[in-house]
């Protein structure tokens, strides 16, 4: 080969701009005229290279001819619809399996044979086509007659062997040949009963584009069920082994399942739960085992369950990368953090010094999707994490709470040849979503996975089913769910629905699903598939978080330059804080009324077709209310929305109110605004979701992204004498430095430190809201028709009071005690009166829960039967009931 390459020709074979989408078709941007010739070169040695103006290497060739994409192909690969298409020569079809087990390069030449361009080839599509039957193959360790059969899908590998170890680290190994099934691309080996509890890895000989050649990767099993510490080796375990099951596990009694629209969720981090709980033995703080103890924290959870909480949502508890799993290898801050000034930058500096080696991380950095995280276990080597995870589930169930697991299938911690990369070292270039020219997409933060590829989609389904069946998890929250295809979430739902108590020990249909339905990055706008986003999931029963209610209540958005932008629950209604970001009084009033419409949509379950009277007097559907240029209402049923005003992301509610309420606001008034804000979540239709500790005024000292901020900034304090976390110093500069000037004077203000009375009041009000929510079925209407028939907002239009939302619920024929329930949210500082014609002459009273509570302000709420007028004190949510006839 002696042709000269033009200077502008693509010669970098590290990229992959060609896409082999099925066995018959290659797609590549650029000319496809008959004057040019195209082919795929392949090399089992992985030695194709550019040299002296052409390609070198020991190669074979697959001929390509100009073609066109079919309608089905364009629908399957919409982001490639504008590219040129080439047909694989049928005479070369037999070469495909061998070609895919080495390096593949797409080549374009001119009529004279001169090289015009060459690029690597993306192969997920053709792998899914050739090995379609792999979706039905057994993977991971499957136990047969006492011994394991171990299988891994590695269709591009030249050789796969299993390395067997006696110990979690060190020691010698034996290497066992694995047999390849050419039909599925699965490699398998049958072991003996003596393999039980032993550790293993795969030795995968494969072409890696990241390495630029053939490599032998020693890698753990993507379908691992147990691991050595720090995920260095997989372990052969049988999850049905009695030694891995706590006493009574097979017949574990579950709290009563509730329809999704009745679900009330507390979002909790395993380490947060007990790391600061002095009633827990020091060696068990921050572990799974803390949930099985009789402690201050577990007593609080039992109390919340009695009040009406139904689910605890655990932040990631699968195996993640960023916490050393052996305690001896961790480092904690050595400074006296509590002795430092409340507004100092020294706390964050001390915490940041050891952040990479301390015991805390949120855990959104997956390594192995179907193994419990080892840093929460008493021993990270081997099966202790399995048993202790199950004991945690049993403990939470025993407290009266079902358990939701936060799952992060949309990305991995690493890709390529990184030692922390698992999937990509088994099948390079398959499990991750690649951009058009080959780099791994990282729009989620890290290496994006590609659940649109068959075997990644299958891994998601298999993993979820394992957690449900083997660990009795009651629900799943999907991180960045919009990066999944809608079809993938529907496949998860279908697989769970097939689980039965008789066959699987769990009731699959009762397992709830929700996630973040945001649309962004390379998949935004259904660019590659129909996404699992807010709008697309309507009608599926899978719920999505709504930012509409959150922003209306808190004010502004999470990324405002000035955190003082106020909302319905943070002072926009009559308590201006002086920030120029809030605009003129006229602009504030207009925005407040817009926020009230968003709140109404949220209280009605974010239904797209719910019709009500907006603040401007128009009759509108939920989808006709504007939210930053998008429809506010988008669900088809109330259970498809997750309403919230705070979560682990962004500032806690207490911290947001500290930024937004006028500095002179008393602590008693702050508690009332905290309660009012939470009431919009707890008394609305749909899933209610609250960040653990918000019922106790939890603060993270203004840290808006505490994923790696250590125990100090993430403290969850069950003992009110320890405070609520506020005044713990300026939050880490990394994500908060731009707001230090706003935070510093507030942190230094002792008036913003709640005492035990304030914390107890907040907790009491929250419990009352939970009890009210669970006291009547009108707070959990299951359909658009029921919401439309029973829920109205009064009065609407020109008579609407800025800062007051009144929601009337017709309970007739549904609630045996009450004919109606009316909720008044008064966010203004003054008492407001609201006439409700439907209540004239009726014997309306304050809800029994509030009538018996120790809040003297809410008990001042009144009703005049002559005029049907409800009066509610300032900064108060009051619930009125009318007895059933």
What is the distance between the alpha carbons of residues 686 and 640, in angstroms, rounded to a whole number? 7
What angle is formed at CA 685 by the lines to CA 682 and CA 691, rounded to 5 degrees? Answer: 35
C-alpha count within 13 angstroms, C-beta hemisphere, residue 736: 29
What is the distance between the alpha carbons of residues 808 and 821, in angstroms, rounded to a whole number? 6
**E strand or H helix at 673:** helix 667-682
Tokens of 281: 């033995």
8 A C-beta contact, residue 705 and residue 649: yes
**Residue with structure tokens 């100090």?**
712
**Residue with structure tokens 């239009």?**
797
Is residue 390 exposed (0-12), middle (13-18) or buried (19+ Cβ within 10 Å)?
Answer: buried
* Helices 740-747 and 653-660: angle between axes, nearest 10 degrees: 90
What is the distance between the alpha carbons of residues 87 and 80, in angstroms, rounded to a whole number? 15
DSSP state of 42: E
Tokens of 708: 């790696």
* Closest to 802 in 3D by CA, of 550, 562, 575: 575
For the chain, the C-alpha Rg in angstroms (whole number) is 30
DSSP state of 494: H
Mapping DSSP to helix (H, G, I), strand (E, B) and coil, where does residue 643 land?
strand
Mapping DSSP to helix (H, G, I), strand (E, B) and coil, where does residue 829 land?
coil
Measured over the CA atoms of residue 581, residue 587, residue 592 and residue 598, the dihedral's sign is negative
Mapping DSSP to helix (H, G, I), strand (E, B) and coil, where does residue 749 land?
coil
What is the distance between the alpha carbons of residues 567 and 577, in angstroms, rounded to a whole number? 11
Catalytic pick among 307, 343, 358, 479: 479
8 A C-beta contact, residue 362 and residue 269: yes
533's CB contacts (< 8 A; 6+ apart) are 481, 482, 486, 517, 518, 519, 544
Paired with 834 in beta bridges are 870
DSSP string covering 614-637, please? -TTS-EEEGGGSEETTEES--BSS
* Residue 135: CB atoms within 10 Å: 16
* Residue 14: CB atoms within 10 Å: 11
Mapping DSSP to helix (H, G, I), strand (E, B) and coil, where does residue 364 land?
coil
8 A C-beta contact, residue 432 and residue 450: yes
Catalytic pick among 343, 474, 516, 646: 516
What is the distance between the alpha carbons of residues 708 and 722, in angstroms, rounded to a whole number? 22
Is 479 among the residues known to form the active site? yes
* Closest to 756 in 3D by CA, of 723, 728, 779: 723
Read off φ and ψ for residue 181, nearest 5 degrees.
-95, 110
* Closest to 80 in 3D by CA, of 18, 129, 139: 18
Is 516 among the residues known to form the active site? yes
Mapping DSSP to helix (H, G, I), strand (E, B) and coil, where does residue 347 land?
helix
Mapping DSSP to helix (H, G, I), strand (E, B) and coil, where does residue 748 land?
coil
What is the distance between the alpha carbons of residues 860 and 666, in angstroms, rounded to a whole number? 20
* Closest to 88 in 3D by CA, of 126, 118, 34: 126
What is the distance between the alpha carbons of residues 431 and 152, in angstroms, rounded to a whole number? 14
Q: Helix, strand, coil shares of the chain as percentages rounded to 5? A: 30, 25, 45
- The answer for 529, left when phi > 0, alpha when psi is -120 to 50, beta otherwise, is beta
* Closest to 64 in 3D by CA, of 26, 29, 31: 26
- Catalytic residues, by residue number, are 479, 516
């Amino acid at each position: 080969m002696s042709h000269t390459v033009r200077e502008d020709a693509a010669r970098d074979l590290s990229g992959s701009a060609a896409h082999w989408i099925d066995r018959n078709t290659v797609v590549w941007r650029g000319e496809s005229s008959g004057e040019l010739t195209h082919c795929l070169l392949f090399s089992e040695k992985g030695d194709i290279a550019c040299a002296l103006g052409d390609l070198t290497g020991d190669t074979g060739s697959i001929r390509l001819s100009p073609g066109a994409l079919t309608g089905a192909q364009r629908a399957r690969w919409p982001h490639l619809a504008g590219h040129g298409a080439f047909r694989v020569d049928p005479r070369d079809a037999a070469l495909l399996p061998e070609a895919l087990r080495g390096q593949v390069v797409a080549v374009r030449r001119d009529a004279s044979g001169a090289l015009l361009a060459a690029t690597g080839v993306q192969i997920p599509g053709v792998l899914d086509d050739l090995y379609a039957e792999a979706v039905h193959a057994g993977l991971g360790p499957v136990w047969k007659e006492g011994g394991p059969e171990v299988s891994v899908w590695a269709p591009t590998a030249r050789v796969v062997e299993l390395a067997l170890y006696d110990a979690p680290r060190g020691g010698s190994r034996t290497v066992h040949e694995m047999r390849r099934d050419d039909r599925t691309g699965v490699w398998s080996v049958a072991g003996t009963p003596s393999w039980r509890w032993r550790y293993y890895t795969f030795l995968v000989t494969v072409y890696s584009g990241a390495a630029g050649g053939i490599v032998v990767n020693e890698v753990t099993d993507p379908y691992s069920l147990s691991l050595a510490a720090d995920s260095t080796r997989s372990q052969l375990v049988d999850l049905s082994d009695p030694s891995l099951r706590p006493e009574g596990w097979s017949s574990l009694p579950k709290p009563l399942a509730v329809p999704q629209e009745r679900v009330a969720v507390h979002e909790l981090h395993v380490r947060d739960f007990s790391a600061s709980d002095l009633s827990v033995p020091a060696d068990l703080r921050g572990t799974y085992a803390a949930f099985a103890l009789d402690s201050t924290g577990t007593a609080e959870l039992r109390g919340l369950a009695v009040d009406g909480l139904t689910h605890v949502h655990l932040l990631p508890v699968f195996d993640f990368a960023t916490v050393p799993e052996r305690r001896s290898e961790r480092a904690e801050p050595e400074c006296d953090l509590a002795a430092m000034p409340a507004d100092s930058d020294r706390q964050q500096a001390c915490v940041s010094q050891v952040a990479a080696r301390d015991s805390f991380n949120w855990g959104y950095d997956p390594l192995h999707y179907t193994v419990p995280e080892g840093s929460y276990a008493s021993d990270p080597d081997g099966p202790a994490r399995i048993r202790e995870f199950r004991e945690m589930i049993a403990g939470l169930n025993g407290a009266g709470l079902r358990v939701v697991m936060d799952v992060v299938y949309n990305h991995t911690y690493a890709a390529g040849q990184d030692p922390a990369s698992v999937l990509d070292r088994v099948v390079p270039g398959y499990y991750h979503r690649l951009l058009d020219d080959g780099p791994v997409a990282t729009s989620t933060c890290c290496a994006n996975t590609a659940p649109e590829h068959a075997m990644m989609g299958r891994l998601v389904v298999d993993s979820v089913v394992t957690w449900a069946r083997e660990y009795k998890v009651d629900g799943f929250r999907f991180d960045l769910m919009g990066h999944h295809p809608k079809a993938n979430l529907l496949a998860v739902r279908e697989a769970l629905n097939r689980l039965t108590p008789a066959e699987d020990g769990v009731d699959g249909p009762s397992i709830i699903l929700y996630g973040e339905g945001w649309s962004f990055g390379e998949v935004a706008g259904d660019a590659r598939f129909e996404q699992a986003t807010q709008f697309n999931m309507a009608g599926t029963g899978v719920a999505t978080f709504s930012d509409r209610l959150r922003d209306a209540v808190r004010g502004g958005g999470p990324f405002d330059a000035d955190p003082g932008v106020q909302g319905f629950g943070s002072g926009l209604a009559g308590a201006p804080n002086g920030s120029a970001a809030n605009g003129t009084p006229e602009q504030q009033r207009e925005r407040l009324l817009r926020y009230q419409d968003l709140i109404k949509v949220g209280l009605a379950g974010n239904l797209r077709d719910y019709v009500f009277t907006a603040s401007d007097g128009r009759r509108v559907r939920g989808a006709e209310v504007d939210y930053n240029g998008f429809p506010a209402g988008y669900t088809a049923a109330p259970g498809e929305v997750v309403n919230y005003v705070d979560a682990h992301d962004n500032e806690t509610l207490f911290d947001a109110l500290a930024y937004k309420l006028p500095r002179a606001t008393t602590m008693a008034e702050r508690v009332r605004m905290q309660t009012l804000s939470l009431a919009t979540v707890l008394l609305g239709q749909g899933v209610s979701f609250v960040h653990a500790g918000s019922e106790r005024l939890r603060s993270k000292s203004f840290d808006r992204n505490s994923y790696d901020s250590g125990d100090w900034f993430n403290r969850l304090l069950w003992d009110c004498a320890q405070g609520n976390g506020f005044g713990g110093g300026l939050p880490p500069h990394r994500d908060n430095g731009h707001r230090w000037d706003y935070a510093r004077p507030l942190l230094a203000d002792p008036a913003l430190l709640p005492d035990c009375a304030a914390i107890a009041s907040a907790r009491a009000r929250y419990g009352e809201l939970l009890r009210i929510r669970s006291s009547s079925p009108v707070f959990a209407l299951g359909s658009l028709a029921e919401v439309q028939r029973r829920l109205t907002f009064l009065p609407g239009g020109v008579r609407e009071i800025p800062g007051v939302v009144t929601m009337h619920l017709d309970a007739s024929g549904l609630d045996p005690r009450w004919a109606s329930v009316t909720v008044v949210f008064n966010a203004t500082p003054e008492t407001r009166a609201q006439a409700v014609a439907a209540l004239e002459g009726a014997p309306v009273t304050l809800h029994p829960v509030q009538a018996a509570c120790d809040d003297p302000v809410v008990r001042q709420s009144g009703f005049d039967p002559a005029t049907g007028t409800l009066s509610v004190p300032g900064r108060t949510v009051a619930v009125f009931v009318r007895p059933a006839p």
